[in-house]
Chains A and B, each alone.
Chain A
């Protein structure tokens, strides 16, 4: 291996480390009162895209979105749903303008999301892991 290749590899590794630091860690949460303990990325994705109206236990699921353009939202959709903001907007354009459904309810900020979800065993949302407290539990760490 030549020196220049080695340097390139080290730089690539360093970039990876920095990118990981720059990313906040998103966690998917439900109320501490909910019987759900864990969900797969596919199950969460279906609930947030309106393809499934229920949790795997057939109980109704009410997804809660965060502010468009927020880091936590972009990370959630990139890691769990594999869509960026414009792909997501294109997806909902199809659903809304055919009357097939509506996007998740929007609540701004981790604090408000945690508070709402703590009180609603049917709700599901996502926050940064640092905002976790005893009133909610993480069901997916993507």
Chain B
């Protein structure tokens, strides 16, 4: 019953009269319109339909940490790995006060597609250069953190999982200050965030409190630089074991660079995650645009978590992957992507695989993942 209700809600939101996308599509055409006029509510939607195959029969390849199953052992072809749909509302109450509300339906830790609130926040412009955000908003750890679910917004089938899965916390319930300034020919944006988060993963609920972060984004010509530092106290509530782990201090340092002159692009990001362990992860990707086609290559890797304290057990998700893929913008507001990924697990590592039977050893295994997806925006 609840499922049907949520689906109806999603559909009705997607079918809204005023589309957030409409201004780009030429729906609003008023010859004498004042240049500052804004409609109060705009609706939009985005989504992805995808199929994934993994050359594994001893475990499942799951794209996001909360997915309980994926391609490989459970399914020859998984439709849940990349598929999702989202509905979005953009509200402009005054030129200075805006709000967004977004729900997203994707395969989650409960094994269903129950919609969840992705973003819900108010933004107020204190001055033309300083915004304050309150509510649930994106944690801008990486360059594509805020849009990691909007497949249409990037060239790959999905964001590089060796890097992005090191930091599965994607949103903050709290407050943020966004300060914009010009540095010579460059545009710089600093974001300060504070708040808390609860994220469901396949192994339990991860609670975070006292989240603090500073993130800087600098645009200079066709180049973009991203730097971030954040800290938090986290605790994992393991449903299986039925206990709360103690609060642990965690911090992340991130850096990113992209260069996109139009006909080609290069992008690379790096992270160091520190808890009781220290983990490094990075990727580098480049692509070339030929008319409506963008073939690309990517190398991505994450290291084993080295313990600061030798008495702690070893935690190991190390893996390396090499990808080749292509994005085809086959029609307005749609793309089709295909990708081949060759993955090598590190020694004693199970990577990001799920559903691994007790008697199976995956250390050092290599396998490949083939995906095809269609992304859309409305």
Question: Hey, which chain A residues are within 8 Å of B29, CB to CB?
Answer: 106-108
**Stretch from A5-13, A18-26, A81-89 at the B interface:** A81-89
Give a binary string over B208-219; 1 marks a CB under 8 Å from any A CB, 0 the rest. Answer: 000000000001
Cα(A86)–Cα(B330), bound, Å:
10
Question: Hey, which chain A residues are within 8 Å of B152, CB to CB?
Answer: 89-90, 93
Which residue of B24, B121, B128 has the most chain A CB atoms within 10 A of its CB atom? B24
Cα(A98)–Cα(B160), bound, Å:
19
Interchain CB contact under 8 A, A97 and B46: yes
Measured between C-beta atoms, what is the minimum distance from B134 to chain A in Å?
12
From A42, A62, A68, A83, give the contact of B185 (CB < 8 A): A42
Interchain CB contact under 8 A, B153 and A115: no
> With contacts A54-B128, A97-B153, A106-B29 known, is A82 near B35, CB below 8 A?
no
Q: A97-B20, A105-B28, A105-B33 are in contact. List 18 more A-B contacts (CB 8 A).
A: A51-B219, A62-B35, A82-B222, A82-B262, A86-B335, A91-B153, A94-B144, A97-B147, A98-B100, A99-B119, A99-B121, A102-B38, A102-B90, A104-B23, A107-B30, A108-B31, A109-B31, A123-B35
> With contacts A62-B36, A98-B119, A105-B37 known, is A93 near B147, CB below 8 A?
yes
A-B contact list, 28 entries, CB within 8 Å: A60-B128, A62-B35, A68-B25, A82-B222, A82-B262, A87-B262, A89-B152, A90-B335, A94-B144, A94-B150, A96-B20, A96-B88, A97-B153, A98-B100, A98-B119, A99-B99, A99-B100, A99-B121, A102-B90, A103-B24, A104-B23, A105-B37, A107-B29, A107-B31, A108-B31, A115-B31, A116-B31, A122-B35
Across the interface, name the chain B residue whose C-beta is closest to A78: B262
Cα(A105)–Cα(B29), bound, Å:
9
Does A53 reach chain B (CB closer than 8 Å)?
yes
> With contacts A67-B26, A98-B138, A98-B146 known, is A93 near B153, CB below 8 A?
yes
Cα(A107)–Cα(B99), bound, Å:
25
Interchain CB contact under 8 A, A116 and B377: no
Question: Hey, which chain A residues are within 8 Å of B23, CB to CB?
Answer: 65, 102-106
Does B12 reach chain A (CB closer than 8 Å)?
no
Across the interface, name the chain B residue whose C-beta is closest to A70: B26
From B86, B98, B144, B219, give the contact of A99 (CB < 8 A): B98
Does B333 reach chain A (CB closer than 8 Å)?
yes
Question: Hey, which chain A residues are within 8 Å of B377, CB to CB?
Answer: 89, 93, 97
Question: Hey, which chain B residues are within 8 Å of A90, CB to CB?
Answer: 152-155, 335
Question: Hey, which chain A residues are within 8 Å of B137, CB to CB?
Answer: 99
> With contacts A97-B150, A98-B138 known, is A92 near B24, CB below 8 A?
yes
Does A64 reach chain B (CB closer than 8 Å)?
yes
CB interface residues, B 181-235, toward A, < 8 Å: 182, 185, 187, 219, 221-222
Cα(A51)–Cα(B180), bound, Å:
9
Question: Hey, which chain A residues are within 8 Å of B88, CB to CB?
Answer: 96-97
Interchain CB contact under 8 A, B32 and A115: yes
Give a binary string over B94-138; 1 marks a CB under 8 Å from any A CB, 0 the rest. Answer: 000011101000000000000000010101000010000000011
Cα(A90)–Cα(B332), bound, Å:
11
Interchain CB contact under 8 A, B119 and A68: no
Cα(A64)–Cα(B35), bound, Å:
8
> With contacts A89-B377, A90-B153, A94-B153 known, is A68 near B24, CB below 8 A?
yes
Interchain CB contact under 8 A, A93 and B33: no
Does A120 reach chain B (CB closer than 8 Å)?
yes
Interchain CB contact under 8 A, A96 and B187: no
Question: Hey, which chain B residues are within 8 Å of A42, CB to CB?
Answer: 185, 221
Question: Hey, which chain A residues are within 8 Å of B102, CB to CB?
Answer: 97
Question: Hey, which chain A residues are within 8 Å of B222, CB to CB?
Answer: 82
Does A14 reach chain B (CB closer than 8 Å)?
no
Measured between C-beta atoms, what is the minimum distance from B169 to chain A in Å?
16
Measured between C-beta atoms, what is the minimum distance from B118 to chain A in Å?
9
CB interface residues, B 290-317, toward A, < 8 Å: 292
Interchain CB contact under 8 A, B37 and A96: no
Cα(A115)–Cα(B34), bound, Å:
11
Give a binary string over A43-76; 1 marks a CB under 8 Å from any B CB, 0 the rest. Answer: 0001000011110000010101101100000000
Across the interface, name the chain A residue whose C-beta is closest to B144: A94
